[in-house]
């Protein structure tokens, strides 16, 4: 983990248990900067949903992979950047689930990405070489 006053960089393994460690780091950084609890909750929930998808579905092997998470807090905005070497996947292109359909008629999947999209103020995706890079932005209103 690398931490600077407004920056945190954390490498986690592709293991669902690592999400809790990330969540603690996000919480600590947010509290240090006076980020409101509801904004921290939104960021942590979005990171949890996205990382759960990457770890659960993104890799073609059972090997250990590193996922980098960079957090920056500047000018009233919390920015999280996730970088992984999973197969290419742009979550912004995932179709929105039909939340009005009866539960038994809904296909499995897509709800976590939808939740992340609605909780963040902005999201961007790009593929650089063999890496997926997803940027999540949350405005901080105090």
11-43: pLDDT as tens digits? 999 999 999 999 999 999 888 888 899 999 999
Number of C-beta neighbours around residue 124 at 10 A: 12
Domain count of the chain? 1
Confidence (pLDDT) at 113: 86
84-102: pLDDT as tens digits? 999 999 998 976 655 565 6
Is the four-CA dihedral 20, 26, 27, 29 of positive or negative sign?
Answer: positive
pTM of the model: 0.87
Residue 58, domain CATH: 3.30.565.10
Does 109 score more than 70 pLDDT?
no
What residue has token string 């600077």? 4
Q: Which domain holds residue 27?
A: 2-139
Confidence (pLDDT) at 76: 87
């Amino acid at each position: 983990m690398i931490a600077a006053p407004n920056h945190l960089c954390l490498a986690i393994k592709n293991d669902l248990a690592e999400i809790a460690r990330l969540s603690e780091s996000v919480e600590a950084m947010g509290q240090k900067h006076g980020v409101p609890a509801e904004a921290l909750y939104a960021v942590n929930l979005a990171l949890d949903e996205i990382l759960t998808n990457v770890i659960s579905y993104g890799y073609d092997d059972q090997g250990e992979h590193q996922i980098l998470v960079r957090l920056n807090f500047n000018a009233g905005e919390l920015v999280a950047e996730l970088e992984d070497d999973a197969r290419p996947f742009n979550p912004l292109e995932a179709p929105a689930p039909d939340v009005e359909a009866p539960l038994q008629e809904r296909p499995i999947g897509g709800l976590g990405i939808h939740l992340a999209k609605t909780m963040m103020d902005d999201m961007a995706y790009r593929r650089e070489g063999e890496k997926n890079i997803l940027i999540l932005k949350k405005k901080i209103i105090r």
